[in-house]
Amino acid sequence: MAGNCGDSCSGVQFEGASEAYKRILWIIVAINGLMFFVEIIAGFVADSTALKADALDFLGDTATYAITLLVIGKPLELRAKAALLKGLSLGAMSVFVLGLTLYKVILAGQPDPMTMGAIGFVAFAANIVSVLLLLKYREGDSNIKSVWLCSRNDAIGNIAVVIAGAGVFATGTVWPDIIVAFIVAGLFLQSSIKITQQALSELERGH
């Protein structure tokens, strides 16, 4: 039966059917949901495009993890379709962040570097917790992969926000904030492509 070979032949090792993994996802959903509200408020207070972009990343991740929880244990085709939706959503988010960044270039308002640095550090700490919890579950089907990529991207994005805050403080210009927003958008797009490609491959295998 083709399904018996599917996971092993494709290199997929884990589908999320573990109570320990589900508990971890619930913890990470709570962390990301909280950090979305913290960063989006701070983004408007500090007038930082990078913080707003990272807040949207937290929101997207919260939805990603929630969808993953819903489809764990479901047939491969349904899991692949859910991952495809997440991949396309990440792509749409990258386009939105790029548009927001270009708008910021036109306005060229300088963000508050101290708020950027402080919130970026808090967000980084929150994401390191998520990354450590997910480290042993970084390989698997497209849904499991999407969870790992989102958490990894968040940690990288948070470091970038802290660096952007230092750059804004050091240079007195908005450009470090804008550059980091572009980097975050690029991470969205890269993950979108990886998740979408794996999901499409799984859909082909499921037919």
- What is the rounded distance in angstroms from the CA atom of residue 184 to the CA atom of residue 67? 22
- Report the candidate in 149, 124, 137 with the shortest Cα–Cα distance to residue 51: 124
Task: Tell me the pLDDT tens digit for each residue of 115-128.
Answer: 888 888 888 898 88
Residue 1 has pLDDT above 50, yes or no: no
Residue 38 lies inside a defined structural domain of this protein: yes
How far, in Å, CA of 180 to CA of 182, rounded? 5
Q: Tell me the per-residue pLDDT of 12-56, one tens digit each, with 9 for 90 and over.
A: 456 767 788 888 889 999 998 998 999 899 888 888 877 887 787
Q: Positive or negative, the Cα torsion across 156, 158, 161, 167? A: negative
**Which pLDDT value is given to residue 9?**
40
pLDDT value of residue 206 = 62
Q: pLDDT per residue over 140-192, tens digit each?
A: 777 777 788 778 777 887 788 788 888 888 888 888 878 877 887 887 788 78
DSSP character for 137? G
Let me know if residue 11 belongs to a domain.
no
pLDDT, position 5: 37
pLDDT tier at 6, thresholds 50, 70, 90 = very low
pLDDT at 129 over 80: yes
User: What percentage of residues in the chain have a pLDDT greater than 90?
Assistant: 5
What pLDDT is recorded for position 12?
44
The verdict on residue 5 lying in a domain is no
Question: Domain for residue 42, yes or no?
Answer: yes
As for how many domains the chain has, the answer is 1
Distance CA 183, CA 176 (A): 11
Residue 7: inside a domain: no
Handedness of CA 49, 51, 54, 56 (dihedral sign): negative
Q: Which residue has the tokens 């270039």?
A: 105
pLDDT of residue 30: 92
- The residue with tokens 């799984």 is 202
Domain assignment present for 29: yes
Backbone angles phi, psi at 14, to 5 degrees: -150, 135
Contact 134, 151 (CB under 8 A): yes
**2 in any annotated domain:** no
**Bigger pLDDT: 124 vs 90:** 124
CATH of the domain at 124: 1.20.1510
pLDDT of residue 37: 92
Residue type, 54: D
Token pair, residue 117, equals 């640095």
Q: What is the C-alpha to C-alpha distance for residues 133 and 149, in angstroms, rounded to an integer?
A: 13
Q: Confirm whether 71 is domain-assigned.
A: yes
Residue 17: exposure state from Cβ atoms within 10 A (0-12, 13-18, ≥19): exposed
pTM for the predicted model, two decimal places = 0.70
Question: What pLDDT score does 34 carry?
Answer: 92
Range of the domain at 88: 17-206
pLDDT value, residue 105: 67
